[in-house]
Amino acid sequence: MTRPSKCLRSVVLGVGSYLPQRRVTNAELATMVDTSDDWIVQRTGIKERYLAGEGETTSVLATRAAQKAMAFAGRTAADIDLVIVATSTPDYTFPSTATMVQAALGITQGVAFDLQAVCSGFVFAVATADKFLTSGSHKCALVIGAETFSRILDWNDRTTCVLFGDGAGAMVLEAQEGEGTIADRGVLTSHLRSDGRHREKLFVDGGPSTTGTIGHLRMSGREVFRHAVGMTTDVMVDAFAATGTTAEDLDWFVPHQANERIIDASAEKLGISPEKIVKTVSLHGNTSAASIPLALSVAAHDGRIKAGDLVMIEAMGGGFTWGSALIRW
């Protein structure tokens, strides 16, 4: 009898997250710019966010989230041979934030690098780690989304500064043998896209090779909104098609947490029931690459996401970039 060919899967062993000390409500922001709690809640669903203080750098937040994910996964520095940090707000132009996290965690083997896909960064990082792990080249990955967007916001621009927050989330993925069916635990499929023609709609107006400054985030919110639902639902349809699953099969939908209206519209378009949506946008604001692992961490630790659950993650962000991954927890 022939055995089915070996199929490696990237299995989630644990998640963890970390938020800065300072929590900032909409009411506090209304003392800084011409805005109101009502406007922010109605247009975005955001009620509060956390902002990094001095010393709370992206690598510090990332390291703390990683420590929690590793403890939950039961893995130590000696087990990890791949570290990917998705961030658009690195501590320094170089070295990468990932190598700083690697050193802080005492990991001395393997490889560490940053991945830059703005708000889609965590989905891109999961997909990238999955390629490494399922090729057999690496065994155990730490995938982190970590951001300090407060450092690149224009605090005089009410159209952007009320939307974003800081934080980090991490996931430990390990290569394990599966049967090659959608009943396997692990990343079942991922679908990444980008289209650089949309650069002007969401960008930072500085950088080492242009202005020599870090610059500030600029966004045509309405334009981004116009594209977000179509792009994210497209890549989720790709994930369903690749696995022969439907919205009904999902246990949890964990989208990028930018705007509650975008989340609800995407779920409604695909027929995903409201009770399957994990939403943390009210608590964290838009934390870019950190938003999905923060949400996953909240829902895994409060007992909602359990082993064997089918979980869809998706995001869309600057570039534009967008992507989805379907994971059997």
Kindly list the residues in this chain that would bind ligand UT7 in the complex (CB under 6 A). Answer: 35, 39, 43-44, 119, 158-159, 162-163, 221-222, 224-225, 228, 258-259, 262, 286, 317
Helix, strand, coil % over all residues of the chain, rounded to 5: 40, 25, 35
Smallest separation, CB 200 to ligand UT7 (Å)? 14
CB distance 9 to 175 below 8 Å: yes
Q: Which of 92, 94, 46, 87 is nearest to 65 (CA)?
A: 87
DSSP letter string over 135-186? HTS-SEEEEEEEEEGGGGS-TT-HHHHTTB-EEEEEEEEEEEEE-SSTTSSE
Smallest separation, CB 320 to ligand UT7 (Å)? 9
Nearer to ligand UT7 by Cβ, of 34 and 54: the residue is: 34
User: Could you say which of 138, 140, 161, 286 is catalytic?
Assistant: 286
Residue nearest to ligand UT7 (CB): 221
Is there a catalytic annotation at residue 26?
A: no
- Alpha-carbon distance of 275 to 260, in angstroms, equals 14
Q: Which amino acid is at 297?
A: S
Q: Per DSSP, which regions of 154-290 are E strands?
A: 166-178, 186-194, 202-204, 217-219, 252-255
Nearer to ligand UT7 by Cβ, of 14 and 121: the residue is: 121
Nearer to ligand UT7 by Cβ, of 139 and 269: the residue is: 269
Give 302's contacts (C-beta < 8 A, 6+ positions apart). Answer: none
- Alpha-carbon distance of 143 to 85, in angstroms, equals 6
Nearer to ligand UT7 by Cβ, of 64 and 198: the residue is: 198
Is there a catalytic annotation at residue 140?
A: no
Smallest separation, CB 258 to ligand UT7 (Å)? 4
Smallest separation, CB 37 to ligand UT7 (Å)? 10
Nearer to ligand UT7 by Cβ, of 281 and 326: the residue is: 281
Is there a catalytic annotation at residue 256?
A: yes
User: Could you say which of 119, 138, 140, 191 is catalytic?
Assistant: 119
User: Could you say which of 216, 256, 259, 284 is catalytic?
Assistant: 256
Smallest separation, CB 113 to ligand UT7 (Å)? 23
Q: Which residues are catalytic?
A: 119, 256, 286
